[in-house]
Chains A and B, each alone.
Chain A
Amino acid sequence: MNTTAMTVDPVPVYRRLYWALADAWVVTRRHLLHIPQQHEQWISATVQPIIFVLLFRYVFGGAIVTPEASYINFLMAGIFVQSVVMEGMTGGIGLAHDLKRGIIDRFRTLPMAPSAVLAGPIVADTLRNLFIIGVMLALGLAVGFRPEASALAWCGAIGLLLATSFAVSWIGSVVALLVRDPEAVQVMAFVVMMPLAFASSAFVPVETMPSWLQPIVRHQPVTVIVDAVRGLLLAHTTGAAPWQALAWCAGIVAVCAPLSVVLYRRLARE
């Protein structure tokens, strides 16, 4: 039996790219079609930020002094970023679930782009975060949030929040592919993302923290992103520039997206 495997012309790069995007859209649609079945997830994803807005506005807010803006104006940027960061990991939990079920095997026997399997849920999550940002904004306006942003700054702020959601979701993918257990991803999300979200400028001014902690907090990505969003919404220029925040997001995607694809391909090795 001396057969030799057949050779095939390589597929041109632009065709690969086209199909990677087309596949990613099909997988995104899969996750969007889940929405009517996932009321609970949507309710908890919406209720949590609402509780946070109300808690910080009315319970903690009175004790927190913000020099440059009213506390509600200071708070909203922080709430937006915090909720996007915490929500970003839910995609990882979903991926870990999928890895335990057979659906990923189905995808892996199809001639589709591996990146699409990973990008699909991330794009769907990013769209969901857009909705959640809208809900929070409406609530914020109702409880006294008075942004002074121009239309352009608004676009910048929302774009930055979506970029953050996208970037954090890729971290979620890497974690899911490494631990492959939904509960473990949840624990990781809590243990890593919770301190990052709170030890930042999201809820209190950095100046009120102990001096040893301040440099760490000031330079960690959540603070950089919160400061940028806050600057855009309140039309002041202190804190990090939007491009720095965007650079963090781009950096995270540049590392985590290819790493996820490598880890996904490695599923065949075990």
Chain B
Amino acid sequence: MGAHSPAILARGVVKRFGTTQALAGLDLTAEPGTILGVLGPNGAGKTTAVRILTTLLRPDAGRVEVAGFDVVRQPDQVRTRIGLAGQYATVDELLSGRENLVMVGRLFHLPRAEARRRADALLERFGLTDVAHRPVKTYSGGMRRRLDLAASLVTEPQVLFLDEPTTGLDPRSRLTLWEIIREQAARGATVLLTTQYLDEADQLADTIVVIDHGRVIASGTADELKDQVGGDRLDVTVAAESDLEDAVRALERHATGPAHVDVAQRQVSVPIRNVPGLLAAVVRDLDARNVRPLDFRLRRPTLDDVFLALTSAPAGPAGDECEEAA
């Protein structure tokens, strides 16, 4: 890798599918050895970006370099340095876990003995030794995902791309994957991780970029992003749905931004700048409107709030046809 080149560099990347603009001038930078979290609502262009960075898709315009090599002009140089684990397990269902890993190693041009050694070590590390010789079609979803990640690590990549690696996994499998992702960064790999789970980005990423409609709308560390939303959040839960409207009116007088209402939870959430006496004033206003709060909570903003403030769409692990098609 060049002395000063970032591990991932994208400048003004544009990609269209027919009339759909998937990427509209995307910029990304990741320094070697860091974890970059890419957040965005469904259809924001996350998967398209990953596919371009991993040479699966050609950009219509813009400059993209991975590990110092141009993805369009030097794809083979990029391919010897990257690993990709996608949303959909990219392993052979009819082969066993071990056969899959050995095959990837051989196609990476490792000597046979080395391919086998790495396969066995990864199966061991990922807790798949017991099922190593069973066809992948008999694996559970979590096992399949771990095997897929293992397949992308056979090549000991400098830059690892993980497209929603934990979507649909149970909490225990997620924690195992998180641990492995941290290990990869610790051994010096650069990791780009797309996720719909904000706590995942919060937990893992050194830097987070939020993308929407194919371009970056915010970036920074988790704390920097939270500061961007401004101040604190006040959540008020009311006893009856009919109280929500009055609660919003009372709270908005003190808020620094628009209120978010969660009707199902009977909760109103507003951004506020906490100054002495403010909370007392809020309580008096609620009282004056006969609103009885069941719960009254002042907190730091979460990435969820950042997401809601920055993008029009709510975050959530929902299905996503648009990204699949890409």
Contact = CB atoms under 8 A, between A and B. Distances in A.
Interface of A: 1, 3, 5-6, 8, 19, 22-23, 26-27, 29-30, 33-34, 37-38, 101-103, 105-112, 116, 267-270
Nearest to A98: B92
A51 to B, nearest CB: 27
A109 B79 contact: yes
Contacts of A107: 107
B68 A6 contact: yes
Given A109-B56, A110-B107, A270 B86 contact: no
Given A268-B55, A270-B17, A105 B84 contact: yes
Given A8-B74, A105-B86, A26 B107 contact: yes
B58 A269 contact: yes
Contacts of A3: 2, 4-6, 9, 65, 68
B2 A110 contact: no
A12 to B, nearest CB: 14
B106 A33 contact: no
10 contacts: A5-B73, A23-B107, A34-B94, A38-B94, A101-B90, A102-B88, A105-B84, A111-B79, A111-B80, A270-B17
B104 interface: yes
Contacts of A33: 94-95, 99
B104 A110 contact: yes
A116 B109 CA distance: 13
Main secondary structure of the interface of A (DSSP, over half): helix
Contacts of B135: 37
A31 to B, nearest CB: 9
A5 B151 CA distance: 27
Given A26-B107, A30-B95, 10 more contacts: A5-B65, A5-B73, A8-B77, A19-B109, A101-B93, A105-B86, A109-B83, A111-B108, A268-B58, A270-B17
B92 A6 contact: no
Contacts of A105: 56, 84, 86, 90
Interface in B47-97: 54-58, 65, 68-70, 73-74, 76-77, 79-80, 82-84, 86, 88-95
B68 A108 contact: no
Interface in B4-24: 4-6, 9, 11, 17
Contacts of A267: 56
B101 to A, nearest CB: 11
A37 B137 CA distance: 11
- Among B2, B79, B94, chain A packs the most CB atoms within 10 A around the CB of B94
B3 to A, nearest CB: 10
Contact of B29 (A1, A22, A30): A1
Contacts of B56: 105, 108-109, 267-268
Main secondary structure of the interface of B (DSSP, over half): loop
Interface of B: 2, 4-6, 9, 11, 17, 29, 54-58, 65, 68-70, 73-74, 76-77, 79-80, 82-84, 86, 88-95, 99, 103-104, 106-109, 135, 151, 155
A238 B303 CA distance: 81
Given A33-B95, A268-B57, A106 B6 contact: no
Nearest to B58: A268
Contact of A102 (B74, B90, B106): B90
- Among A8, A19, A26, A38, chain B packs the most CB atoms within 10 A around the CB of A26
Given A3-B6, A3-B68, A103-B90, A26 B84 contact: no
**Those 3 A-B pairs whose CB atoms lie nearest each other, nearest first:** A102-B90, A106-B90, A5-B70
Contacts of B91: 102-103, 106
Contact of A37 (B9, B70, B94): B94
Contacts of B90: 101-103, 105-106
A128 to B, nearest CB: 15
A101 B74 CA distance: 26
A70 to B, nearest CB: 43
A260 B92 CA distance: 22
A65 to B, nearest CB: 47
A32 B68 CA distance: 38
A23 B109 CA distance: 8
A108 B76 CA distance: 10
- Among A6, A8, A29, chain B packs the most CB atoms within 10 A around the CB of A6
Contacts of A268: 55-58
- Among A33, A109, A267, chain B packs the most CB atoms within 10 A around the CB of A109
Contacts of B4: 3
A206 B57 CA distance: 50
B88 to A, nearest CB: 5
Nearest to B92: A103
A6 B1 CA distance: 8
B107 A112 contact: yes
Nearest to B73: A5
Contacts of B82: 109
B17 A5 contact: no
Contacts of A37: 94, 135
B65 A102 contact: no
A159 B5 CA distance: 54
Nearest to A108: B56
Contacts of A102: 86, 88-91
Nearest to B86: A102
